[in-house]
Amino acid sequence: MVVALEGKAVVAPIQVSEGYWRGVMRRLSRNPVAMIALGIIVLLILMAVLAPYLAPADPVKGSMLRRLRPVGTPGYPLGADELGRDMLSRLIFGARLSLFMGVTPVLMAFVIGSGLGIFAGYVGGKLNTAIMRTIDIFYAFPSVLLAVALSGALGAGITNALVSLTIVFIPPITRVAESVTTQVRNRDYVEAARASGAGGVTIVRVHVLGNVLSPIFVYATSLISVAMILASGLSFLGLGVKPPEPEWGLMLNTLRTAIYVNPLVAALPGVMIFITSISFNLFSDGLRSAMDVRS
Amino acid sequence: MSGEPVDPLADPRDRGGPRQPLLTVRGLVKHFPVGKNILGRSTNVVRAVDDVDFDLLKGETLGIVGESGCGKSTTARLLMHLIEPDRGNIIFDGEVVGQELSLREYRRQVQMVFQDSYASLNPRLTIEDSIAFAPQVHGVSRRESLNRAHDLLSRVGLEPNRFAGRYPHELSGGQRQRINIARALALEPRLIILDEAVSALDKSVEAQVLNLLLDLKDAFGLTYIFISHDLNVVRFISDRVMVMYLGKVAEIGTAGDIFDRPAHPYSGALLSSMPAMDPDARTLEAPLYGDPPNPINPPPGCRFHTRCTAVEAVCSKLEPQLAATSTNQQVSCLKYQPGSGHSAAPPALEAAE
* Structural domains of chain A, count: 1
CATH (domain of A264): 1.10.3720.10
* Minimal C-alpha gap between B80 and chain A (Å): 7
B96 reaches A (C-beta below 8 A): no
Nearest CA in chain A to B108: A196
Residues of A with CB under 8 A from a CB of B: 1-6, 11-17, 20, 187-189, 191-199, 202, 206-207, 210-211, 293-294
| Chain B: residue whose CA lies nearest to A197 | B104
Do residue A1 and residue B123 have CB atoms under 8 angstroms apart? Answer: no
d(C-alpha A91, C-alpha A181), whole Å: 41
Residue A87 lies in a domain: yes
> Would you give per-residue pLDDT tens digits along chain B (353 residues)?
445 677 777 777 877 777 888 999 999 999 888 876 666 666 788 888 888 999 999 999 999 998 888 888 899 999 998 888 998 999 998 889 888 888 888 998 999 999 898 899 998 888 999 999 999 999 899 999 999 999 999 999 999 988 888 888 889 989 999 999 999 999 999 999 999 888 888 888 999 999 999 999 999 999 999 999 888 899 999 999 999 998 889 999 999 888 888 888 888 888 887 777 777 776 666 677 777 777 787 888 888 888 888 888 888 888 888 888 888 888 888 888 887 778 877 877 655 44
| Consecutive H or E run containing B303 | none
Residue A105 lies in a domain: yes
Instruction: Tally helices (H) and strands (E) across chain A.
Output: 12, 0
Q: Tens of pLDDT along A176-187?
A: 999 999 999 989
Cα separation of B160 and B91, whole Å? 37
Inter-chain residue contact B215 with A12, CB threshold 8 Å:
no
The mean per-residue pLDDT over the stretch A148-173 comes to 90
How many CA atoms, within 13 angstroms, populate the side-chain half-sphere of residue A78? 20
Pairing of strands B87-92, B95-96: antiparallel
Residue A92 lies in a domain: yes
Q: In which order are the strands placed within the sheet that holds B42-56?
A: B42-56, B23-36, B87-92, B95-96
In this complex, which of A15, A202, A207 lies closest to B122 when CB atoms are compared? A207
3-state secondary structure of B78: helix
Structural domain boundaries enclosing A122: 24-60+77-290
| Residues of B in Cβ contact (< 8 Å) with A187 | 119-120
Q: Is the model's pLDDT at A7 over the cut of 50?
A: no
Q: Which of B:101-120 have CB within 8 Å of A?
A: 103-104, 107-108, 111-112, 114, 116, 119-120
Q: Is the ipTM of this complex over 0.85?
A: no
Phi, psi values for residue B346, rounded to 5°? -70, 155
- CB spacing of B120 vs A211 below 8 angstroms: no
With an 8 Å Cβ cutoff, is B166 touching chain A? Answer: yes
A117 is a domain residue: yes
pLDDT of residue A16: 58
Q: Is residue A94 part of a domain?
A: yes
Distance CA B71, CA B337 (A): 24
Q: Residue A12: inside a domain, yes or no?
A: no
A86 located within any domain? yes
3-class DSSP state for residue A213? helix
Q: How would residue A265 be classed by pLDDT, with cut points 50, 70 and 90? A: confident
Phi, psi angle pair for B181, to nearest 5°: -65, -40
Neighbours of B242 (CB within 10 A): 25
**Of A11-15, A145-149, A290-294, B129-133, where does the model show the most confidence?**
B129-133
DSSP single-letter state for residue B320: -
CB contact under 8 A, B208 and A198: no
Specify the pairing of strand B61-65 against strand B223-227.
parallel
Residue A167 within a domain: yes
Q: How far is it, in rounded angstroms, from Cα B216 to Cα B52?
A: 29
Name chain A contacts of B114, Cβ cutoff 8 Å: 188, 191-192
